[in-house]
Structure 1
């Protein structure tokens, strides 16, 4: 359940969720207008009811990829050369551009013009 509270000149939505360890956590999000707060409240309640709620996290793209890559290597039984090639691609082509970005803030347009550097040019 999410609740709206007026705090000064803004409106806050407060909701409770369980983190990845099953611990109950409270989260506050502030909005300049009541309409925006109501919209977010409805979105949160819908996500919680349908099981699509994404737990707030500060994991960066670099942290995620450096954790994900060895798991993929073990899962698919990659050869050492395949692992090294994929690691080099991540370290040289992804992390310098969006490595410090939080995963939850990553959007399709996040790389901006950096994506054009990764696309081979036709001669």
Structure 2
């Protein structure tokens, strides 16, 4: 059987690079590892980390097509971040004018979680540690 160690990274293509860069770095607090502009592709590639763990590649491309993401389209459903305190995380995001769903409880784990959307409406979940 194939042995997978962990998820290496998640790639996200955004429609407004500066807006998404601000959201992921200034609002969510991810650290910039490296930012590169690839002239031949007219594209930025921003490598982001949580602590020292590389997690997201944020890309910009000219005129990316819209992707259907709701209500339950095929493909990647959402990105989830673990947090120590769901209520504190939600209040922080609300204080930064990020719309949030109400906190719910996972019926199988009894842990709290909620969803927001990134600047391109990608669903992002915050899940209790």
Q: TM-score range by the shorter chain?
A: under 0.3
Question: Normalising by the residue count of structure 1, what TM-score does the alignment of the two structures yield?
Answer: 0.25
Q: Which has the higher strand share?
A: 2
Structure number with bigger Rg: 1
Q: Which has the higher contact order (CA 8 A, sep 6+)?
A: 2
Question: Normalising by the residue count of structure 2, what TM-score does the alignment of the two structures yield?
Answer: 0.24
